[in-house]
Amino acid sequence: MTSVQKKTYSALLEGASIVCAASSGYRIIDSTGSPIARIQSKTFKAMHPLLRSTKRRGIFLINKNEVRKLNGNSWVKKLYKKALNNMSKTSTNTPATAKQDVKYFMSYGRKNGMRQLQLLLPLLSGDIKQVAESAVNLFDMELRDKRFKGKGK
Protein backbone atom coordinates (compact mmCIF):
# COMPACT_ATOMS: atom_id res chain seq x y z
CA MET A 1 0.00 0.00 0.00
CA THR A 2 1.40 3.41 -0.93
CA SER A 3 1.71 6.27 1.54
CA VAL A 4 -1.12 8.15 -0.18
CA GLN A 5 -3.37 5.09 0.09
CA LYS A 6 -2.51 4.73 3.80
CA LYS A 7 -3.28 8.41 4.36
CA THR A 8 -6.54 8.01 2.45
CA TYR A 9 -7.65 4.94 4.40
CA SER A 10 -6.97 6.60 7.73
CA ALA A 11 -8.71 9.80 6.63
CA LEU A 12 -11.79 7.91 5.45
CA LEU A 13 -11.98 5.94 8.68
CA GLU A 14 -11.80 9.16 10.66
CA GLY A 15 -14.77 10.60 8.77
CA ALA A 16 -13.27 12.42 5.79
CA SER A 17 -15.15 12.92 2.53
CA ILE A 18 -14.08 12.37 -1.05
CA VAL A 19 -14.62 15.27 -3.39
CA CYS A 20 -14.34 14.48 -7.07
CA ALA A 21 -12.56 17.24 -8.95
CA ALA A 22 -12.57 17.40 -12.75
CA SER A 23 -9.32 16.31 -14.40
CA SER A 24 -6.89 16.85 -11.55
CA GLY A 25 -7.91 13.74 -9.61
CA TYR A 26 -9.90 13.51 -6.40
CA ARG A 27 -9.56 15.65 -3.32
CA ILE A 28 -10.16 14.30 0.17
CA ILE A 29 -11.43 16.81 2.71
CA ASP A 30 -12.03 16.50 6.44
CA SER A 31 -15.15 17.56 8.32
CA THR A 32 -13.98 21.18 8.53
CA GLY A 33 -13.51 21.35 4.76
CA SER A 34 -9.73 21.57 4.75
CA PRO A 35 -7.98 19.38 2.17
CA ILE A 36 -6.18 16.25 3.37
CA ALA A 37 -4.84 14.71 0.17
CA ARG A 38 -5.22 14.53 -3.57
CA ILE A 39 -5.51 11.08 -5.11
CA GLN A 40 -5.41 9.74 -8.65
CA SER A 41 -8.15 7.66 -10.24
CA LYS A 42 -6.27 4.38 -9.68
CA THR A 43 -6.13 5.10 -5.94
CA PHE A 44 -9.82 5.98 -6.01
CA LYS A 45 -10.53 2.62 -7.65
CA ALA A 46 -8.56 0.93 -4.87
CA MET A 47 -10.77 2.70 -2.32
CA HIS A 48 -14.01 1.18 -3.67
CA PRO A 49 -14.08 -1.82 -1.30
CA LEU A 50 -13.52 0.49 1.66
CA LEU A 51 -16.21 2.92 0.54
CA ARG A 52 -18.70 0.10 0.08
CA SER A 53 -17.89 -1.71 3.32
CA THR A 54 -17.81 1.25 5.69
CA LYS A 55 -20.80 3.09 4.18
CA ARG A 56 -19.07 6.39 4.85
CA ARG A 57 -21.16 9.48 5.40
CA GLY A 58 -20.78 12.48 3.15
CA ILE A 59 -19.13 11.18 0.01
CA PHE A 60 -19.53 14.09 -2.36
CA LEU A 61 -18.85 13.68 -6.05
CA ILE A 62 -18.93 17.10 -7.67
CA ASN A 63 -18.33 15.96 -11.23
CA LYS A 64 -20.53 12.96 -12.00
CA ASN A 65 -19.26 12.60 -15.57
CA GLU A 66 -15.70 11.95 -14.43
CA VAL A 67 -16.87 9.14 -12.17
CA ARG A 68 -19.14 7.71 -14.88
CA LYS A 69 -16.06 7.26 -17.06
CA LEU A 70 -14.49 5.12 -14.33
CA ASN A 71 -17.42 3.16 -13.00
CA GLY A 72 -20.49 3.46 -15.16
CA ASN A 73 -23.77 5.24 -14.56
CA SER A 74 -25.46 2.78 -12.19
CA TRP A 75 -22.59 2.92 -9.69
CA VAL A 76 -22.76 6.73 -9.67
CA LYS A 77 -26.51 6.73 -9.06
CA LYS A 78 -26.12 4.21 -6.26
CA LEU A 79 -23.32 6.20 -4.62
CA TYR A 80 -25.22 9.50 -4.81
CA LYS A 81 -28.33 7.90 -3.37
CA LYS A 82 -26.30 6.35 -0.55
CA ALA A 83 -24.55 9.66 0.19
CA LEU A 84 -27.84 11.56 0.33
CA ASN A 85 -29.45 8.94 2.58
CA ASN A 86 -26.47 8.85 4.90
CA MET A 87 -26.30 12.62 5.14
CA SER A 88 -29.99 12.89 5.99
CA LYS A 89 -29.59 10.42 8.86
CA THR A 90 -28.06 11.57 12.10
CA SER A 91 -26.70 8.17 13.02
CA THR A 92 -23.76 7.59 15.33
CA ASN A 93 -22.07 5.12 13.00
CA THR A 94 -18.85 7.11 12.65
CA PRO A 95 -15.56 5.98 14.17
CA ALA A 96 -15.50 9.06 16.40
CA THR A 97 -18.09 7.56 18.77
CA ALA A 98 -17.24 5.11 21.49
CA LYS A 99 -19.02 1.81 22.13
CA GLN A 100 -20.60 1.12 18.75
CA ASP A 101 -17.15 1.37 17.22
CA VAL A 102 -16.11 -1.99 18.59
CA LYS A 103 -19.10 -3.50 16.77
CA TYR A 104 -18.16 -1.48 13.68
CA PHE A 105 -14.58 -2.80 13.64
CA MET A 106 -15.74 -6.33 14.51
CA SER A 107 -18.11 -6.36 11.53
CA TYR A 108 -15.31 -4.95 9.35
CA GLY A 109 -13.09 -7.81 10.54
CA ARG A 110 -15.76 -10.42 9.86
CA LYS A 111 -16.31 -9.08 6.34
CA ASN A 112 -12.70 -8.53 5.35
CA GLY A 113 -10.74 -10.87 7.61
CA MET A 114 -8.44 -10.50 10.60
CA ARG A 115 -5.43 -9.53 8.48
CA GLN A 116 -7.22 -6.53 6.94
CA LEU A 117 -8.32 -5.40 10.39
CA GLN A 118 -4.74 -5.60 11.65
CA LEU A 119 -3.49 -3.64 8.63
CA LEU A 120 -5.77 -0.75 9.60
CA LEU A 121 -4.28 -0.36 13.09
CA PRO A 122 -1.12 1.59 12.16
CA LEU A 123 -3.25 4.00 10.12
CA LEU A 124 -5.37 5.08 13.07
CA SER A 125 -4.55 7.35 15.98
CA GLY A 126 -5.91 8.33 19.39
CA ASP A 127 -9.14 6.89 20.78
CA ILE A 128 -10.08 5.30 17.48
CA LYS A 129 -6.88 3.26 17.53
CA GLN A 130 -7.62 1.97 21.05
CA VAL A 131 -11.13 0.96 20.02
CA ALA A 132 -9.79 -0.81 16.93
CA GLU A 133 -7.16 -2.63 19.03
CA SER A 134 -9.83 -3.84 21.44
CA ALA A 135 -11.89 -5.02 18.46
CA VAL A 136 -8.86 -6.93 17.15
CA ASN A 137 -8.43 -8.59 20.56
CA LEU A 138 -12.13 -9.47 20.76
CA PHE A 139 -12.10 -10.80 17.21
CA ASP A 140 -9.01 -12.87 17.98
CA MET A 141 -10.67 -14.33 21.09
CA GLU A 142 -13.79 -15.08 19.05
CA LEU A 143 -11.72 -16.93 16.44
CA ARG A 144 -9.88 -18.92 19.11
CA ASP A 145 -13.18 -19.80 20.79
CA LYS A 146 -14.56 -21.12 17.48
CA ARG A 147 -11.42 -23.20 16.93
CA PHE A 148 -11.64 -24.64 20.44
CA LYS A 149 -15.34 -25.53 20.05
CA GLY A 150 -14.62 -27.14 16.69
CA LYS A 151 -12.00 -29.47 18.18
CA GLY A 152 -14.26 -30.56 21.03
CA LYS A 153 -16.92 -32.07 18.74
Secondary structure of residue 34 in the 3-state scheme? coil
Q: Are 10 and 65 in the same domain? A: yes
Q: Are residues 48 and 122 in the same domain?
A: no
Residue at a domain's end among 40, 56, 88 = 88
Last residue of a domain, one of 88, 108, 125: 88
Per-residue confidence (pLDDT) for residue 118, from 0 to 100 = 73
Distance CA 102, CA 34 (A): 28
Decide which of 88, 113, 142 is a domain's last residue.
88
- Residue 51's pLDDT is 55
Pair 110, 130 in one domain = yes
* Host domain of residue 79: 3-88
Asked whether residue 27 is domain-assigned, the answer is: yes
Residue 19 lies in a domain: yes
Q: Is residue 93 part of a domain?
A: no
Per-residue pLDDT at 85: 53
- By the 10 Å C-beta count (0-12 exposed, 13-18 middle, 19+ buried), 26 is classed as buried
Q: How many domains does the chain have?
A: 2
Q: Give mean pLDDT in consecutive 10-residue pieces for the chain, a chain of 153 residues.
A: 67 65 63 69 63 48 51 56 48 41 72 71 70 80 71 52
The model's pTM: 0.33
In terms of domains, do 84 and 103 share one? no
